[in-house]
């Protein structure tokens, strides 16, 4: 609920003419449903559905099919987004009809360590794919914009997958989708205790990885890392846990208090804006 309020307030305050907010709620019982119904009755959100869904992919598929606009941006309530950067990507896609999908770099943070912000992106993988050196590559959909008319070819999220954006990125790159890469930052992905991916069993994730590799001829994100390097990375993580038992990222599985969350998210929005307040960002397609 706190994430939902923070994110929706931000979207509503910065909404521009022609933009639409579509909300899919899984029949929640924590007060979210009543809050959303109030916003809908006030005309602050444009479409709302609250009903049980089978899983996360099912919910997002409903939202994409409900959307009226030509370009869709998925927004999850516990991540942070730069709407000005997203609008640049929207403008680029509207001016280039051959582009099905636009992705970008993004930042990463964890609520258990709110001061530590990292940069991540898949630009080098995109370049290799674009130049025909790889058949597929993976990316997070936290930065992705999608052309709705392209759904008839690219399809919806696969409801069999927990790692739905992982599978989706493999599928659409395997299909040869028209992809543009923005070198700015559309989003800051926030790691929260108990999110969907973290609750998945190791066995399930390994099974999905095997399916992806077979179906899309994917060599794997760590294909260029030797077994020795994998072992060193694993041992390094174990050593860090042993030497840093008081590290909040290790010991804390509880969300910060709601008042603290607001300050953390305010700092995240500010940090994302600072990263985007630079020159030299470009679109590569």
Q: Where are the domains of the chain?
A: 1-52, 70-225+253-284
- CA-nearest of 207, 208, 225, 197 to 167 is 208
Between the CA of residue 136 and those of 102, 122, 164, 169, 211, what are the distances in Å?
16, 12, 15, 8, 14
Quick one: pLDDT at residue 223? 40
Average pLDDT, the chain: 87
Range 70-225+253-284: architecture per CATH: Alpha-Beta Complex (3.90)
pLDDT digits (tens, 9 = 90+) for 61-120: 999 999 999 999 999 989 999 999 999 999 999 999 999 999 999 999 988 788 889 999
Which of 36-40, 169-173, 215-219, 248-252 shows the lowest mean pLDDT across its residues? Answer: 248-252
pLDDT of residue 37: 96
Given a cut of 70, whether residue 221 has pLDDT beyond it is: no
Gap between the Cα atoms of 166 and 29, Å rounded:
29
All residues at 6 or more sequence positions from 274 whose CB lies less than 8 Å from its CB, including other chains: none
Q: Which residue has the tokens 């804390």?
A: 252
- Measured from the Cβ of residue 61, the count of other Cβ atoms closer than 10 Å reads 20
Q: Give dist(CA 139, CA 18) in Å, integer.
A: 28
pTM of the model: 0.86
Kindly indicate the confidence band of residue 250, based on its pLDDT and cuts at 50, 70 and 90.
Answer: very low
Quote the distance between the C-alpha of residue 58 and its chain's center. 16
């Amino acid at each position: 609920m706190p994430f939902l309020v923070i994110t929706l307030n931000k979207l509503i305050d910065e909404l521009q003419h022609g933009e639409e907010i579509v909300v899919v709620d899984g029949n929640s019982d924590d007060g979210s449903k009543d809050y959303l119904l109030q916003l809908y009755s006030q005309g602050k959100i444009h479409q709302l559905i609250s009903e049980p869904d089978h899983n996360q992919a099912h919910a997002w598929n409903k939202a994409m099919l409900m959307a009226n606009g030509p370009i869709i941006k998925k927004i999850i309530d516990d991540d942070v987004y730069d709407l000005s950067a997203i609008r640049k990507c929207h403008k680029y896609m509207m001016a280039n009809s051959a582009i099905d999908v636009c992705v970008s770099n993004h930042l990463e943070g964890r609520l258990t360590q709110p001061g530590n912000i990292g940069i991540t992106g898949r630009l080098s993988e995109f370049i290799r794919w674009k130049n025909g050196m790889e058949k597929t590559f993976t990316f997070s959909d936290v930065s992705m914009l999608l052309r709705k008319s392209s759904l008839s070819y690219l399809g919806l999220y696969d409801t069999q997958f927990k790692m739905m954006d992982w599978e989706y990125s493999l599928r659409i790159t395997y299909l040869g989708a028209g992809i543009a890469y923005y070198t700015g930052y559309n989003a800051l992905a926030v790691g929260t205790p108990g999110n969907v991916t973290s609750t998945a069993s190791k066995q399930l994730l390994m099974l999905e990885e095997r399916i992806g590799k077979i179906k899309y001829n994917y060599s794997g994100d760590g294909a260029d890392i030797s077994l020795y390097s994998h072992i060193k990375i694993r041992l390094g993580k174990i050593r860090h846990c042993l030497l840093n038992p008081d590290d909040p990222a290790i010991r804390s599985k509880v969300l910060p208090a709601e008042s603290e969350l607001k300050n953390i998210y305010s700092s995240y929005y500010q940090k994302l804006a600072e990263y985007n307040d630079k020159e030299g960002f470009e679109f590569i397609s």
